[in-house]
């Protein structure tokens, strides 16, 4: 089965895990610090705070920024449920914002402007599919309104510019992301005091960690706040160090595959919309396409599955999930809903080769009956030009 995503794990990861076990120290220690430094450097940041997941990172960011009951946070609905959940964790209210269009499925600045109220405190940007959100308009948007700007950078590990757009950003190392530590994440922020607030809340607000106390004269610690246990551990940090070393090479391979998809889809599946301009910076986390409105998506999924090709949907829109519908039944986001209803995510990971891409596109063209569609389009075009000539 050709999978939508697949982690690359091998002898380097095994050796790194064995080293941690042989060291006798498996919870947060020196490897975690080294991983934080290495991730920060790879993203042109001064420092990073590792966490147990991107979800935990988003929660810590909301917490450290002081967002709470009565505060509204603008979020896209075309994202994983964690984005809106992080607002609810701190007692805030997520306000769902539409995307621009199927061709540009990023949070719409016009819709966001219309949804601002005196209670709006922050906006969360998602670099959907690994495509960078335009920093300048959003920085101006936040500055003019006095809002915090938060990045859900789960799709964006290794993306130049991601993590430095706003006040803080959370990255994910879940198993299907561009690099993985199984579970895990990182928070980046240029604000040193915010970073320390996130770092302290990550470990119960303790003034010293277990590892520090091992090498210190005094076993005393204090607790200064209500914190959480959102720490990373040495095993995951060891995986992260190995994976980070391959990230730019993997992201480069993703780009080659994604570019090949564009070429092949353009030739063989003209009725499909491929979102995003090729020139927008991207780490190609996923390969989303939008099927024609007249097509039967489930039939396409079944056809590809019969050919041993997995496809998925990014995303079932958050506001239409039962839990969120029960909280906010009146939300309507026409562009998000249209995209979500016709989107299909094709296999894309660095283990694939160009002929895998060609096989997927061929199967997709078959499933859509593209030959007929192309012919019909050709006939329509010819008739149109005849009309023009005779008219
Ligand atoms: C994967 C993902 C998350 C959650 O990441 P975890 O590390 O699994 O908590 C959040 N937001 C988006 C957009 C994601 O894709």
pLDDT digits (tens, 9 = 90+) for 249-304: 999 999 999 999 999 999 999 999 999 999 999 999 999 999 999 999 999 999 99
**Atom number of ligand 1 nearest to Cα 185:** 7
CA distance 322 to 324: 6
Through-space distance between the first and last CA atoms of the chain, rounded to whole angstroms: 54
Ligand 1 lined by 181 (C-beta under 6 Å):
no
Ligand 1 lined by 180 (C-beta under 6 Å):
no
Q: Which residues pair with 149 in a beta bridge?
A: 123
Count Cβ atoms within 10 A of the Cβ of residue 32 and give its class: 0-12 exposed, 13-18 middle, 19 or more buried: buried
CA distance 246 to 223: 39
**Atom number of ligand 1 nearest to Cα 155:** 15
SS (H, E, C) 30-78: HHHHHHHHHHHHHCCCCCCEEECCHHHHHHHHHHHCCCCCCCEEEEECC
**What local confidence, expressed as pLDDT, does residue 214 receive?**
76
CA distance 327 to 69: 15
Show Cβ contacts of residue 170 under 8 Å, excluding neighbours closer than 6 positions: 51, 54, 57, 58, 61, 150, 151, 152, 153, 154, 185, 186, 187
**What local confidence, expressed as pLDDT, does residue 220 receive?**
84
**What local confidence, expressed as pLDDT, does residue 371 receive?**
59
Determine which residue's CA is closest to atom 10 belonging to ligand 1: 82
pLDDT digits (tens, 9 = 90+) for 73-113: 999 999 999 999 999 999 999 999 999 999 999 999 999 99
To test the pocket of ligand 1, the residue of 7, 62, 78, 80 to mutate (highest count of ligand atoms within 8 Å of its CB) is 80
CA distance 78 to 56: 20
Q: Are 75 and 324 in contact (CB under 8 A)?
A: no
154 Cα: distance to centroid of ligand 1 (angstroms): 5
CA distance 325 to 348: 31
Q: Are 16 and 136 in contact (CB under 8 A)?
A: no
373 Cα: distance to centroid of ligand 1 (angstroms): 37
Ligand 1 lined by 152 (C-beta under 6 Å):
yes
Which sequence positions are flagged as catalytic?
Answer: 177
**What local confidence, expressed as pLDDT, does residue 224 receive?**
87
CA distance 16 to 9: 11
Ligand 1 lined by 7 (C-beta under 6 Å):
no
Q: Quick check: helix, strand or coil at residue 186?
A: strand
pLDDT digits (tens, 9 = 90+) for 329-376: 999 999 999 999 999 999 999 999 999 999 999 999 999 998 544 444
Q: Are 257 and 348 in contact (CB under 8 A)?
A: yes
Q: Quick check: helix, strand or coil at residue 358?
A: helix
**What local confidence, expressed as pLDDT, does residue 383 receive?**
47
Q: Are 339 and 78 in contact (CB under 8 A)?
A: yes
Ligand 1 lined by 79 (C-beta under 6 Å):
yes
Is the pLDDT at 161 greater than 70, yes or no?
A: yes
**Number of continuous H segments (helices) and E segments (strands) in the chain:** 14, 9
């Amino acid at each position: 089965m050709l999978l939508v995503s697949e982690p690359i794990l091998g002898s380097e990861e095994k050796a790194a895990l064995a080293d941690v076990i042989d060291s006798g120290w498996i919870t947060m220690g020196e490897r975690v610090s080294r991983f934080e430094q290495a991730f920060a450097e790879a993203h042109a940041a001064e420092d990073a705070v590792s966490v147990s997941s991107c979800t935990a990172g988003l929660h810590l960011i909301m917490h450290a920024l002081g967002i709470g009951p009565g505060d509204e946070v603008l979020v896209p609905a075309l994202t994983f449920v964690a984005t809106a959940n992080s607002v609810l964790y701190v007692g805030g209210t997520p306000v769902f914002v539409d995307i621009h269009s199927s061709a540009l499925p990023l949070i719409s600045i016009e819709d966001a402007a219309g949804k601002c109220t005196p209670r709006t405190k922050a906006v969360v940007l998602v670099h959907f599919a690994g495509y960078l959100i335009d920093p300048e308009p959003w920085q101006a948007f936040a500055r003019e309104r006095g809002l915090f700007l938060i990045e859900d950078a789960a799709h964006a590990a290794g993306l130049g510019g991601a993590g430095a757009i706003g006040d803080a950003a959370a990255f994910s190392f879940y198993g299907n992301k561009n690099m993985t530590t199984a579970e895990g994440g990182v928070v980046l922020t240029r604000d040193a005091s915010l970073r320390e607030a996130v770092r302290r809340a990550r470990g119960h607000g303790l003034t010293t960690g277990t590892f520090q106390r091992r090498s210190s004269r005094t076993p005393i610690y204090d607790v200064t706040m209500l914190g959480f246990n959102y720490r990373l551990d040495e095993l995951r940090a060891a995986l992260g160090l190995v994976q980070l070393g391959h990230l730019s090479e993997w992201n480069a391979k993703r780009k080659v595959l994604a570019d090949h998809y564009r070429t092949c889809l353009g030739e063989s599946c003209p009725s499909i919309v491929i979102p995003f301009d090729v020139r927008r910076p991207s780490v190609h986390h996923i390969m989303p396409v939008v099927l024609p409105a007249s097509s039967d998506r489930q039939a396409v999924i079944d056809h590809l599955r019969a050919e041993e090709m997995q496809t998925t949907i990014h995303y079932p829109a958050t506001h239409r999930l039962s839990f969120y519908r029960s909280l906010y039944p009146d939300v309507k986001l026409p562009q998000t809903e249209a995209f979500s209803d016709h989107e299909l995510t094709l296999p894309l990971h660095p283990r694939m080769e160009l002929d895998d891409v060609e096989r997927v596109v061929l199967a997709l063209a078959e499933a859509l009956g593209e030959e007929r569609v192309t012919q019909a389009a050709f006939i329509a075009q010819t008739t149109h030009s005849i009309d023009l000539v005779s008219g």
